Amino acid sequence: MYKNLDPLLHAPLRLAIVSYLMTHSKVSFKVLKEITEASSGNLSVQLKKLEEANYLRMEKSFFENYPLTQVTLTQKGIAAFENYVQNLKKYL
């Protein structure tokens, strides 16, 4: 329907993730879950899709004996978001 809009970003949860990451250099999974109000399962799936497209990078480590996943937007992800916003303006 919206041909110019990147289908990977034109989905509410994935767009919310990328929008938040545009203003933050590094974000934990926990914070993303709070911001997007998504379930852990759904969030993991969407993050995986964005990671596969090389829009973001996930780093897994441990913090005080708890697993810690931190997410960073890649240059490709930033360019894709900027391009998405430019194309979005054509429909408004």
Partner 1 sequence: MKTTPFTPEESIQLIDSIIKKAKNRFEENGFAFILWGAVIAICSFTQSYLIHLNKASISWYPYLIMPLVAAFVFFYSNKKKRSSTSNPIASFYGILWLIVGINIMIIAFGFSPYLKENLVPLILLLLGIATLLSGSFIKSRILSFCGLILNCSAFVAFLIPWKDQSTFMGILAIVAFLIPGIVMKLKSTKQNV
| CB of 53 vs partner 1, minimal distance in Å | 17
Burial label, 17 (beta-carbon count in 10 A; 0-12, 13-18, 19+): buried
Cβ–Cβ < 8 Å for 81, 9? yes
Q: Which helix (H) or strand (E) holds 29?
A: helix 29-36
Residue window 10-49: x/- pattern of binding to partner 1, with contact defined by CB under 8 A:
xxxx-xx--xx--xxxxxx-xx---xxxx---x-------
The pair phi, psi for residue 21, each rounded to 5°, is: -70, -25
Q: Indicate whether 2 belongs to the interface with partner 1 (CB under 8 A).
A: yes
| CB of 44 vs partner 1, minimal distance in Å | 14
One residue of 53, 58, 78, 88 binding partner 1 per CB under 8 A: 88
Name the site residues for partner 1 (rule: CB under 8 A). 1-2, 5, 10-13, 15-16, 19-20, 23-28, 30-31, 35-38, 42, 63-64, 68, 85, 88, 91-92
